[in-house]
Chain A
Amino acid sequence: MSNAKMIQSDVSSVLTLQEMAEIDHELEHIPYKSGAAIDALKIIQAGRGWVSDECLQAIAKYLGMSSEELEGVATFYNLIYRRPVGEKVILFCDSVSCWISGCDSVKQTLSDTLGVDYGETTKDNRYTLLPVPCLGACDRAPVMMVGDDLVTHLDDNKINELFSASKTGDQS
Chain B
Amino acid sequence: MEKVLTRNIKPGKPPTDMAAYEANGGYQGLRKAMSGMSPQDCREVVSASNLRGRGGAGFPTGMKWSFVPMGDKCTPGHKYLVCNADEMEPGAFKDRLLMEYDPHQLIEGMILSAYCIGADISYIFIRGEYIVAIERLRKALEECYAKGYLGENILGSGCKLEMYVHPSAGRYICGEETALINALEGKRANPRAKPPFPQVSGLWGRPTIVNNVETLCNIPHIIDRGAEWFKSLGVGEDAGTKLFGVSGRVKNPGCWELPMGTPIREILENHAGGMQDGLQLKGFLPGGGSTDFLTKDHLDLAMDYNVIGKAGSRMGTGTMIILDDQTCPVGMVLNLIRFFAHESCGFCTPCRDGLPWTRQVLEDIEQGRGKVEDLDTLEYQINYIGAIGNTHCALAPGAMEPLQSALKYFREDFERHISGGCCPYHSGKGA
Contacts and interface: CB of A to CB of B under 8 A. Distances in A.
A38 interface: yes
B377 interface: no
A159 to B, nearest CB: 20
Interface string A128-156: 00001111111111000100101000000
B121 A29 contact: yes
Interface residues of B, number: 55
Interface string B192-221: 000000000000100000000000000000
B360 interface: no
Nearest to B96: A136
Contact of B169 (A79, A96, A99, A133): A79
Given A31-B204, A37-B186, A37-B187, A100 B249 contact: yes
B188 A134 contact: no
A133 B186 contact: no
Q: Identify which of B127, B172, B188 gathers the most chain A CB atoms within 10 Å of its CB.
A: B188
Interface stretch (A2-10, A12-20, A69-77): A69-77
Contacts of B130: 136
A96 B336 contact: yes
A22 to B, nearest CB: 14
Interface in B153-201: 162, 164, 167-172, 183, 185-189
Interface string B234-245: 000000000001
Contact of A100 (B88, B171, B323): B323
A21 to B, nearest CB: 18
B92 A136 contact: yes
Contacts of B339: 95-96, 133-134
Interface residues of A, number: 40
Nearest to B204: A31
Nearest to A148: B131
Nearest to A35: B186
Nearest to B206: A31
Contacts of B88: 133-134, 136
Contacts of B186: 30, 34-39, 73
A91 interface: yes
A58 B327 CA distance: 50
Interface in B270-299: 285, 289
A139 B255 contact: yes
Interface in A17-70: 29-32, 34-39, 41-42
Nearest to B131: A148
B170 A79 contact: yes
A80 B339 CA distance: 19
A134 B249 CA distance: 17
B50 interface: no
A45 B20 CA distance: 36
B202 to A, nearest CB: 13
The 10 closest A-B CB pairs, nearest first, are A138-B247, A77-B169, A37-B186, A79-B170, A78-B170, A97-B247, A139-B253, A95-B90, A35-B186, A76-B188
24 contacts: A32-B204, A35-B185, A35-B186, A38-B186, A80-B169, A96-B91, A96-B321, A96-B335, A97-B247, A100-B248, A100-B322, A100-B327, A100-B332, A132-B129, A133-B88, A133-B172, A134-B91, A134-B289, A136-B88, A136-B93, A137-B93, A137-B96, A138-B91, A139-B246
Interface of B: 87-93, 95-96, 121, 127-132, 162, 164, 167-172, 183, 185-189, 204, 245-249, 253-255, 285, 289, 319, 321-324, 327, 331-332, 335-336, 339, 342-343, 345
Given A42-B169, A134-B90, A139-B246, 18 more contacts: A31-B204, A34-B186, A36-B186, A39-B186, A72-B188, A76-B171, A76-B189, A79-B169, A95-B339, A96-B339, A97-B247, A132-B170, A134-B339, A135-B129, A136-B88, A138-B91, A138-B247, A148-B131
Interface of A: 29-32, 34-39, 41-42, 72-73, 76-80, 91, 94-97, 99-101, 132-141, 145, 148, 150
